Amino acid sequence: MDVALSTIVGAIALFIPALLTLVPLLTLVQKTQQHTGHNPPPPEPRAIPLVGHLHLLIKKPLHRTLAHLADRHGDVLGLRFGCTRVAVVSSASVAQECLVTLDTSFGNRPRLPSAKILSYDWSTMGHSNCGAYWRQVRRTTSTEFSSVERVQHFADVHEQEARAMARRLCHVAIASGGRALVDVKSRLLEMLMNGLLDMLFKRTSSRSDEQDETVEVTEEARCFMGMAEETMELTLTVWDFLPALARWLDVDAVGRRLQRLQANRTEFLQRLIEEHKEKEKCGQVTRRTLVRVLLELQKKDPEACTDQLIRSLCVSALEAGTLSTGYIVEWVMSLLLNYPHVMKKARDEIDACVGEQPKRLLEATDLPKLPYLRCIIMETLRLYPVVPLLVPRECSTDCTVSGFQIPKGTMLLVNTFAIHRDPGTWEDPETFLPERFEDGRNQALAAGNMVDLSFGMGRRRCPAENLGMQLAGIALGTMIQCFNWERVGTELVDMAEGSGLTMAKKIPLEAFCQPRASMVNLLSQI
């Protein structure tokens, strides 16, 4: 992508003398547009002719770049990505105005070329516009996959996968002489993928007990995780705003990658759907999985519930559930390794709840009794929100935001990262301090979506919040309960952020794990 933009900018540079002759005219047009309404447009930093502010997309990570611009220009910032107008919001009050007060105006998604390919013509819940179809898909997802009842129903699946991960780590550590170096991210993503595959298809990524448990992840899990991460990497790129110019300059590598990626995802998911159909014929599916529900709907109305719709729902659940939750727990573990006193406090809380010499492992029903563990997760979401720039929305009508005129068709970016670190809201905003949420402190801020903004606001708020918090709580609690963790070397864990729609660590976390003496026998029995 960076090479493509460099090529495009280089080509534009050849025409800069001619473009400069248009600047007075463009300025006049812009001033004319500014005076057509009663309110001014948001302030804009200086733009490059033709491409506007597209060069910002190669300054990684984008959320920090936009936060620095907001410091200079204000909480509502105007940008232009090619011909697309963009409004960037960097305060909680303005975000609430856009996503709650003006929810109807900002309910749609921008029709980006990458989204068209990756969302099966915008048929996923996250990419479809508000309307009858979107309400049907959201209702099905909320009822059959992420409702409180369904999350509780599948709690045993999440517990089993967390324990399987702990058992494998214990075996690896013992085989390595008592402790082992662990690729934390890979282990977490495989665990989460298995749990979600079970909820969707009643299957896992096929690691048998006879397989070598020293292998980090199965090949199937590695394949899907690679596709999921590439999906996030190819979302919201320069290609989305200058696809025609990219093709003309023969640098359409992003377009070819998108097509190849979508073909691979379709093949992967369709195979799982066909396997599920065969299991149903043989009576091997006893639980009410999401795919089972969808196949029942397909029998009643094949045109309303096609295989494409089923793939759309499944890919959304797998990608969002695996990556988002995995990244949350990886950030938490990184912070705990840098703040060992916080990890000790969390372990003491778990031991007090379950027992220091436990006869059982942590269960989902224990999570409400572990308020400090929840404080840790909330504080991590504040510092490292899952989606640092909320999934883009599009303004469907001309409207006014914080006194600025926002034209119809403007793309909205909400900088969650900047909002969560606002010194006007939080004391010591850059400091990791879970205690700020203890005993009800700052709960009003959390309830007011200052932290919950990680899951969005308004009608498009993520419906899988309960599922994500349960998955994160069980995974994190099990890792803390079962193992002592140490950093690799004496230096603190690098907390640099990577780029992409979801906030991954720039350097994946590796750490040493050692089974706690009180847990070895218990882990060997599961």
Q: E strand or H helix at 196, and its extent?
A: helix 184-201
Give the β-pairing of 411-414 and 84-89: parallel
Which residue's structure tokens are 């980006």? 112
DSSP 53-105: TGGGGGSSSHHHHHHHHHHHH-SEEEEEETTEEEEEE-SHHHHHIIIIITTTT
User: Does residue 462 have a known ligand-binding role?
Assistant: yes
CA-CA distance, 239 to 387, in Å (whole number)?
A: 21
* CA nearest neighbour of 5 among 59, 54, 41, 65: 54
CA-CA distance, 410 to 516, in Å (whole number)?
A: 54
* CA nearest neighbour of 240 among 113, 130, 133: 113
* 107: Cα within 13 Å, side-chain hemisphere: 13
**Helical packing angle, 132-144 and 307-319, nearest 10°:** 60
DSSP 493: P
* CA nearest neighbour of 187 among 225, 149, 157: 225
- Encoded amino acid at 52, one letter: G
DSSP 43: P
* CA nearest neighbour of 57 among 74, 30, 79, 77: 79
Contact 506, 494 (CB under 8 A): yes
CA-CA distance, 399 to 410, in Å (whole number)?
A: 10
Cite the annotated binding site by residue number: 462
Cite the annotated binding site for heme by residue number: 462
